[in-house]
Structure 1
Amino acid sequence: MSEEFITLTENTGTLRDKTIFITGASRGIGRAIALKCAADGANIVIAAKSAQPHPKLPGTIYSVAQEVENAGGKALALQVDVRDAQRVEEAMVETADKFGGIDAVVNNAGAISLTNVASTPPKRYDLMQSINSRAVYLTAHLALPYLKKSGSAHILSLCPPLNLQPKWLGPFAPYALSKFGMTILSLGLAEELREAGVSVATLWPRTLVATAAIEFAVGNREMFEQSRKPAIMADAAYEVLATKDAALTGRQLIDEELLAERGVRDFTDYAHNPANADSLTRDLFLD
């Protein structure tokens, strides 16, 4: 799938030489964010588990590192399981040693199971909590010594705005808990780090995004026809990371709304199939 990013010229070059640590960046939305920021001259850490090719899913930390270099950025490929505190800490040290610091952390790695409590095995429950909400705590906890030295630091987590309506909780409370946990931690971090000047925000897609999660975990590849490309989340994430003076801290952002604030008027080309741009499926947790 080709990337079709929109460049909003007022921010061009803002991320040059900034170091961005992205979890789950070997494919999907994480990869798209990596390439978008790389095109602006950023240093990208591809922190993901995928060191070996998968028979069904393209992309490894090394293939994305090469794409980052080709796009104009500098890359560091690190095999990281965000559940492993020691490995995450080592990755932060390796990042700072190579690039001199850390300016942003993007919590993109995720686990999903759209099952209710009765149908969710304990191992799957623990997996979602540890890869989703716990990882926001862990990456922030371990990156903060570096972020506080940045002068323009960001923590961006890909999770939904809080919505506790029963229709979202009853069918899959374990997953909802893990994603809303990311949001609650982010809101708390925004207040905790306000005086330190570290911006903390969340970002969620207005519509389904054509990724492996849609194909294998939520539905099937036919749902791509009602989805947008990962590029829309990459463009929105770039706008967050390029925003200065912590102007977005504490906000629960939606990709389309943020891009509209920044001047985007036509979203047709973001659709996986532009002919279906007016009939896309709204993402989970959005009424």
Structure 2
Amino acid sequence: MTSNSRQVALVVGASRGIGRQIAIDLAKAGYTVVVAAKSTTPPSDLANISPFPPDPNSPQSTITTVAREITLAGGHATALPVDTTNPASIQQLVAKTIDLHTRLDILIYNAGAIWWAPVASTPLKRFQLMQRVNVEGLYAVLQAALPYLKGVYEQQQQKGYQKEQQGGPRIVVVCPPIYSRFFRGKTAYAVGKVGMSVLVKGLGMDFVREGVLGDGGVGGMAITGIWPAVAIESGATGRFTRNDPSYARDLRKATIFSDAVLTMIRAPASVVNGQLELDEDFLRSHAGVTDFSGYSVVPGSTPRRIMPAELPDLTVREQDDEGMRTDSSKL
């Protein structure tokens, strides 16, 4: 069982790529990390991987190998399998996390299913799978985890934690800013991913209404969305580099994403809550990073930015007018 003084981070979708890097860097930063995804490695196969897969973006990389990589480096990690299409599996994941570590401070949702094609070329089953993994999976994880995250917040408030002390519970979701160009050519995928972004915005509003953002320091609760400004080396982008090795010149290492996530969970809750951020832009504005060349997969290359330089403001003139609010759960 983990000491109550060590914060616990649950990373869903941590078997390879971005999720793996986030899990590793959270462990380096002193968190106990629960590495969660569907893929595991049987003990008989693990003996043939020494000490961990040579390609961290390959199917050989699983929650088993990632947890071992963390522990071999002196960190604290537990590998727990989860099927994000199965609410019962998600409930078991969160319950097991609490059973093992007694608390939950950080939740990262990186699980995702991808199918980029026009509507006419996207089978209904593929569309349904994406919604189950992306937006429905996130919703189920939030429902399961929120009571424990709020419990940590309440305990910190009772102890009188101040701005400079231990950070409050945070949720970080891998989801995009909302703008119309994102829908083009991948509408079925965008439905779920933008749905995740709506969850970030809406739950962030709930946090404001509930008054859990704290006193302006790092001690409050917050939820934030994050998306890459430049394509990142991962299992998804690996298919392109296999077909055309020159594509690697337009990729960045996953460390830019994990650096942004670590900066995000250490920022004041009121600054990041309900925001949809881009990794590069967030590091530039909140960590003072101006040189991103070290993140390039190919040294000396200048990867092409895939996201707009400016994004639309989703607020309206009547933003503060809530009208007649209705809570169906209380009817």
Query: Could you state the TM-score of these two structures normalised by the residue count of structure 2?
Result: 0.76
Residues in 2 aligned to 1:163 and 1:123: alpha-carbon distance in whole angstroms: 26
CA distance in 2, matches of 1:267, 1:282: 12
* Match status 1:273 vs 2:298: yes
User: For residues 291 and 24 of structure 2, what CA distance do their matches in structure 1 show?
Assistant: 22
2:88 equivalent to 1:86 = yes
Aligned equivalents of 1:175 and 1:246: distance in 2?
30
* Partner SS state of residue 45, structure 1: strand
Structure 1 residues 2-37: Cα deviation after superposition (integer angstroms, max 9, x where no partner):
xxxxxxxxxxxxxx8211111110110000001111
Report if aligned partners of 1:189, 1:200 keep a CA contact under 8 Å in 2: yes
- Name the structure 2 match of 1:29: 18
Unaligned runs of 5+ in 2: 46-52, 154-167, 214-220, 311-331
Question: Measured at CA, do residues 285 and 83 of structure 1 come closer, stay the same or move farther in structure 2, by a change above 3 Å?
Answer: farther
Alignment of 1:253-264 (within 5 A): 253-261=277-285, 262-264=287-289
Matched-pair contact (CA < 8 Å) for 1:81–1:88: yes
**Residue number among 106, 109, 116 corresponding to 2:108 in the alignment:** 106
Deviations 1:262-286 (A, max 9, x none): 121211110001221x2x1323677
The residue that corresponds to 2:148 in the other structure is 146
2:19 partner letter = G
Residue 256 of structure 2 is matched in structure 1 by: 232
Aligned residues: percent identity?
33
Provide Cα deviations, 1:174-200, integer angstroms capped at 9, x if missing partner. 011111111011100101123233201
Q: Which stretch shifts more, 217-226 or 22-31? A: 217-226
Aligned to 1:20: 9
2:205 to 185, 191, 196: 191
Report the CA distance shift for 1:64/1:246 in structure 2 as closer, same or farther (over 3 A). farther
User: Higher relative contact order at CA 8 Å, sep ≥6: structure 1 or structure 2?
Assistant: 1
Say whether 1:173 aligns with 2:187. Answer: yes
Contact 2:241 2:248 in 1 (8 A): no
> How many Å apart are 1:243 and its aligned residue?
2.3
The one-letter code matched in structure 1 to 2:172 is: L
Q: Distance in 1 between matches of 2:192 and 2:85?
A: 14
2:48 maps to what in 1? none
Greater Cα shift, 62-71 or 119-128: 62-71
Deviation of the 1:58 alpha carbon: 2.9
Alignment CA distance shift 1:251-1:219 (3 Å): farther
Question: In 2, Cα distance between the equivalents of 1:121 and 1:185?
Answer: 25
Q: Which has the larger radius of gyration?
A: 2
Q: How many residues are paired up?
A: 268
Instruction: Specify the alignment match of 1:125 in structure 2.
Output: 127
Letter in 2 for 1:32: Q
- TM normalised by structure 1 equals 0.87
Relative to structure 2, which stretch is displaced further, 186-195 or 54-63?
54-63
Partner of 2:328: none
Whether contact under 8 Å (1:240, 1:248) holds in the other structure is yes
**Matched residue, 2:29:** 40
- Cα distance, 1:131 vs. partner? 1.1
- Of the three residues 143, 157, 162, the one matched with 2:178 is 162
1:105 counterpart SS class: strand
SS at match of 1:90: helix
CA contact (8 A) 1:112 1:217 kept: no
Unaligned runs of 5+ in 1: 1-15
Query: SS of 1:148's equivalent?
Result: helix
Distance in 2 of aligned mates of 1:269 and 1:75? 28
Cα RMSD (Å): 2.1
Measured in 2, the distance between the counterparts of 1:33 and 1:46 equals 10
